[in-house]
Structure 1
Amino acid sequence: MITNQIGLGARGDRAFAGGAGHGWFLLLPGVPQWRRGERSRGLVILGWYWSAVMVAGFGWGSMIGAMLLGAAFLAHCASVADEVRQSAFPGFGSWAPWFSAAVGLGVVGYVPGLLVALTLAYPAWTKDGGYLVNRRAYEQQAPAPGQWVWLDRQTSASSIDRPKGMARVVAVAGQVVSWSNGGILIDGRKPVVDSEGLLLTPRTQGRFEVPERALLVVCEGPRSRQGSWQQEILSSSRLELVPTDWVIGRPWACSYPIWKRRLIG
């Protein structure tokens, strides 16, 4: 009896010392099993985890990417739950280690990390492909001419349903847009956006100032050809006047199709 008590006490002391001194190893999937001498098991868990993480990162924003990210989380939970079950004294039930591992890892690492990823690399889709959007890019500053913006879907009684998509800023509020003989000027100078795509029909002349809380952008998608003379001129030149609150962020990469992946300058 005394021997058993001494042995159990020593086991509890080792578990406590190992948890206190090496608790950070729980954050590394497969490492607790490796340190316990179960190297094959540790390598399997480690392989599952990093394989799922890498493929999930490659497929970020897709259904497959989300499923593999969930698989990586489950592998991490399995590693932590196994270590908790092996080292705890007295022992836990079958579900307690899994529940504590899932809650702990989710609150400490995965949920905050996912929120950051969805803010800085928000996956946005159009019929032509997928893009990554930084939703915080314009929280402290407004878009500038030449920059790319992502426009949210907007529907109103006075305009047709415009889809989400990328647009490039041509002029901002307060700037004067003028055109003559098929050419366009912003505050009397050539626009920073390539003017070849902004040419207007010959003998067309006009001038107006971009209103407050609005942007003049060039973008793809259907545009209304009904309304004032300004709307008709802008429509024919692939230009649109949009409110600034339509802008939800700055696209910085094209993610899909995979063979067309690139950074957006």
Structure 2
Amino acid sequence: MKTRRSDRLIDMTRYLLERPHTLVPLTFFSQRYESAKSSISEDLAIIRRTFAQRHTGILETVPGAAGGVRYIPVIAEAEAKDFIQNMATRLSDSERLLPGGYVYLTDLLGTPEILRQIGRLIATQYIDSSVDAVMTVATKGIPIAQSVSQYLNVPFVIVRRDSKITEGSTVSVNYVSGSSDRVEKMELSKRSLKPGSGVLIVDDFMKGGGTVNGMKSLIEEFDAKLVGVSVFAEGSFDGDRMIDDYTSLLQMDPVDAKAKTINAKPGNYLDVNAELLNGLEN
């Protein structure tokens, strides 16, 4: 029995949202709903228009016999600015200050809606890049990597500082911690990356850049290539960072432990991606 248009639209939208960056042939939808391709094309035009109006994403058409449609999640400039400013305000709450000058982030990075927005922001920056895997280091970067990988529809890999028997054989590198100058070790399962893979590094917080630099070294050991580096927040750092080319959603000034004040503000993400976000807005 043929499916009604209203039912088709709901099911097609759900199907596309669950499979970002996946090429879906029109034939698939035609057979799924026992409908003519012309009807499917009309349905997709409605979804495309609605996605554009609501800034849900781009519904890209790939012509030809092997073509179809592909959903590309994005975030518009106004929504990106509002989210980042909201995060800056929440991070500036003095109640987040922990002993030793650390800032409490766990509640934010454990909230599904916040993680969804972080994933959309970072994935939007790399919509035109060839990302084959998202890399992070255990543990707080894991939910961010998972969210980004979901929107890019690629695997995420976890770098660890200690061996896990479930990882099998691993590749390890020594790296210098950017904040303490200690030499530490990190490792990754040999099965995690294929040679030539494009890898996006994400993390929750960066100070001196030593951990990110260690992950860069691991990528080189796998004969893979670095696509970019994105972090949720960067802290102030006296001296030269080990990483120059990166984007941060938030930037935190030095914490005043005596006055118990925290000052968080937007990072460089909006400036780096101004042209891209403006184009998506329009």
Instruction: Settle same-fold status: TM greater than 0.5.
Output: no
Q: Which has the larger radius of gyration?
A: 1
Structure whose residues are more often helix by fraction: 1
TM-score (norm 2): 0.26
| Higher-RCO chain (CA-CA 8 Å, sequence separation at least 6) | 2
